[in-house]
Chain A
């Protein structure tokens, strides 16, 4: 609580210090001068807060800080590895009214579905969140609110400005430049990226150019939508426009080109084969939003140490992913949960998460924090991730996603994977995808 009150002035360093300080005094009971500020004379009851996330949010250190500063609160994290595992689970909890954590992460693809049922979440405006608006990029703040502006469902965590991760060792083998600035110049466009890939595979035929169709499809769909109409599979009235939106077709064709040329390993991101492939020379590049760096580091591990770097994404714009934190009404401790969500999404919370797992802040204050803007990633060959992603984040244009966005996306991806496996003919891929997507959107 008291951390969030000072949010504006506290840098990450100070937050850590406060945590350490609180930790040191925790054994001595409540420190009067501090708890006085929160205006709670009675010793607060002990509560355990469960936080549901997927993938890497980079919250481990923040939980420790928060618990140190709030001795009555125990934070328990429940994490699943992929969004696809997380989605049905959350759906079950919300549908049945029990089982959800006190704080749940809503990714941009699932947020629209729950926006339709905002009544199942507490209104964060009731917990003093209204004053936090200036802490967030305007569009990130806007998307966390119900359309009528009455209820704040979620507070923004990260956004996913795009980069392109590549293996320097394999590039070297193929006689390509390895320095990230030169590498970025290799592919101003996706066509250039394609021809570079052909050159690469001519030299290193045993390694594929890309991981699979899923990452590149998501990247290009969102990139095109951001540069174009501001929506992708669904228009802003939630009509399915997969078939008629030219930016979708364009993204699909770009992806298909790589599949057709057999330049990908046909894997879906975060599936077991994909995780294993990161420990081998299976593929040389993958489009990576900032938050994916944590996953690559985790799965590539000691094998990939010193081998990865980040360059600019072809097309040089766009974002993918990013989440909000919400408090389901079923939580028994909505007040404490809202405080925790406020802390985790506060500028210094976002800075802390970025430092841990490269989840790029949705808070302008955090982005300007030297700990972010000047950040370098040791695992990625000291790439200036703060600068690379910061440049990208500055030009992000929000993309509207419909409530069935995730279902549609998964259906389209399956068709593209099947093309690579030789199970769908490339010239039939689009019509198959349109058909599958219509069913998924039902």
Chain B
């Protein structure tokens, strides 16, 4: 929980000796130092944020009102035309559906498995640190590297995964062509990278749950599974909300994996020939940086921003309600 209460008041600085000029000037300086330093110390963040964070965001809105091309040099005010177009732009909504599809396939299993692993890790065991480190190794690999390695693993003809499937008698899957399977492949990349990290976060939260609760339940004869669902999960609710929101922000911006996954079309931002795995971020990037439609790209950016906020709120409410219904 964020503690926003003011910090305990400092002791008043020692009063300056009254009739010493030198000391007086020093004390004036000291007071100035006390007054100004805090602002000076926090200002770098605000300067950087205002120039490179807030300004672009507002400016995005401005750009979205224009038909704005950098290469062609066009810059023509079109009002809300871009937004009107967006609402009926089938490709945009297609990419929204893709993004959500991949998001569900990654977030839901990821968080469930993370919970499970955290529960396992919370046991007293040998080599606990080794297991924990092993779980988050994927985090240090770069997303680009992950995408490249997994794209090879999911190769239709020479990939390890189709080979393993073949061993158990499953026909090879064309991972890049099928919409559903491409989502699964991409979700796998995301899951592989983030599950261990979320498991550790859950583990930390689990360790803060008073042990007596479990012991009391155990004495009452509640099974471990029952303990998990009745004690662990409800107690973790704030943490779960937190991880869902973080996953939402990340999931809505999915970019690197699908870009590097699309080896079959000349334009990597296409996300497959029928855009079967084109995410909204790719669609934005494609419009702005590939097709020189910066105005429309900015419109997409705002739409995504709004989607993230709405979706985070819905998540938050849903999980609170689920938790509160208990």
A410 and B264: CB pair below 8 A?
no
CB contacts (< 8 Å) of A91 on chain B: these are 70-71, 292
Instruction: For residue A334, give the distance in angstroms from its CB to the closest CB of chain B.
Output: 21
Instruction: For residue B194, give the distance in angstroms from its CB to the closest CB of chain A.
Output: 28
Contact partner, B289, options A84, A88, A113, A422, Cβ 8 Å: A88
State whether the Cβ of A137 lies closer than 8 Å to any Cβ in chain B: no
CB contacts (< 8 Å) of B292 on chain A: these are 91, 95
Closest to A442 in B: B293
The interface-forming segment of A58-66, A69-77, A187-195, A266-274 is A266-274
Closest to A117 in B: B73
A410/B267 contact (C-beta < 8 A), A91-B292, A418-B274, A421-B273 known: yes
Expressed in whole angstroms, the Cα–Cα distance for A268 and B268 within the complex equals: 12
CB contacts (< 8 Å) of A440 on chain B: these are 291
The residue among B174, B177, B289, B293 with the most chain A CB atoms within 10 A of its own CB is: B177
State whether the Cβ of B270 lies closer than 8 Å to any Cβ in chain A: yes
Contact partner, A94, options B71, B91, B174, Cβ 8 Å: B71
A-contact 0/1 string along B208-249, CB 8 Å cutoff: 000000000000000000000000000000000000000000
CB contacts (< 8 Å) of B120 on chain A: these are none
State whether the Cβ of B13 lies closer than 8 Å to any Cβ in chain A: no
CB contacts (< 8 Å) of A273 on chain B: these are 263-264
Expressed in whole angstroms, the Cα–Cα distance for A95 and B74 within the complex equals: 11
B266 and A270: CB pair below 8 A?
yes
Per DSSP, chain B at the interface is loop
A414 and B72: CB pair below 8 A?
no
CB contacts (< 8 Å) of B293 on chain A: these are 442
CB contacts (< 8 Å) of A394 on chain B: these are none
Closest to A120 in B: B73
CB contacts (< 8 Å) of A442 on chain B: these are 293
Expressed in whole angstroms, the Cα–Cα distance for A8 and B91 within the complex equals: 54
State whether the Cβ of A439 lies closer than 8 Å to any Cβ in chain B: yes
Per DSSP, chain A at the interface is helix
Expressed in whole angstroms, the Cα–Cα distance for A13 and B282 within the complex equals: 51
State whether the Cβ of B164 lies closer than 8 Å to any Cβ in chain A: no
Expressed in whole angstroms, the Cα–Cα distance for A71 and B267 within the complex equals: 40
B72 and A113: CB pair below 8 A?
yes
CB contacts (< 8 Å) of B174 on chain A: these are 421
B-contact 0/1 string along A395-437, CB 8 Å cutoff: 0000000010001001000110110011110000000000000
Instruction: For residue A24, give the distance in angstroms from its CB to the closest CB of chain B.
Output: 45
| B255-297 residues at the A interface, CB under 8 angstroms | 263-267, 270, 273-274, 276, 289-293
B289 and A92: CB pair below 8 A?
yes
Contact partner, A95, options B70, B91, B179, B276, Cβ 8 Å: B70
A268 and B266: CB pair below 8 A?
yes
Expressed in whole angstroms, the Cα–Cα distance for A415 and B265 within the complex equals: 11
A84 and B267: CB pair below 8 A?
yes
| B162-189 residues at the A interface, CB under 8 angstroms | 174, 177, 179
Q: Give 9 pairs: A residue, B residue, CB < 8 Å, sorted on A.
A: A88-B289, A91-B70, A91-B292, A92-B71, A117-B72, A271-B265, A272-B263, A403-B72, A423-B177
Q: Which residue numbers of A lie inside 8 Å of B, CB to CB? A: 82, 84-85, 88, 91-92, 94-96, 113, 116-117, 267-273, 403, 407, 410, 414-415, 417-418, 421-424, 439-440, 442
